[in-house]
Chains A and B, each alone.
Chain A
Amino acid sequence: MGHWSYLVVLLLTFAAAAWLEAWPGVRVLRDPRRLAIALLPGAAFLVWDVVVAARGWWSFSPELTLGPRLWGLPLEEVAFFVVVPVCAILGYEAVGATLRRRRGGR
Chain B
Amino acid sequence: MLGYTLGAVVAVIAAVALDVAGTRQRLVTHGHFWVAYAVILFFQLVMNGVLTGIPIVTYDPDVHLGLRVANAPVEDIGFGFGLVLSVLTVWSRAGAHPGDDAAGEERGGEP
Interface of A is mostly: helix
The answer to whether the Cβ of B63 comes within 8 Å of any Cβ in the partner chain is yes
Residues of the A chain whose Cβ atoms lie less than 8 Å from the Cβ of B88: 38, 88-89, 92
- Please tell me if the beta carbons of B36 and A95 are within 8 angstroms of each other in the complex: yes
- Shortest A8–chain B CB gap in Å is 10
- Please tell me if the beta carbons of B90 and A58 are within 8 angstroms of each other in the complex: no
- Please tell me if the beta carbons of B58 and A91 are within 8 angstroms of each other in the complex: no
Interface of B is mostly: helix
Residues of the A chain whose Cβ atoms lie less than 8 Å from the Cβ of B51: 6, 9
- Please tell me if the beta carbons of B56 and A60 are within 8 angstroms of each other in the complex: yes
Q: CA A59 – CA B66 in complex, angstroms?
A: 17
Q: Could you tell me which B residues sit within 8 Å of A by CB distance?
A: 3-4, 7, 11, 15, 18, 31-33, 35-36, 39-40, 43-44, 47, 50-51, 54-60, 63, 79, 82-84, 86-91, 94-95, 105-106, 108-109
- Kindly list the 6 A-B residue pairs having the minimum CB-CB distance in the complex, ordered from nearest: A25-B109, A41-B86, A38-B91, A95-B36, A85-B87, A92-B36
Further pairs besides A37-B90, A61-B56, A94-B36: 11, Cβ < 8 Å: A17-B43, A35-B91, A37-B94, A38-B88, A45-B79, A61-B58, A64-B54, A84-B47, A91-B39, A91-B40, A93-B108
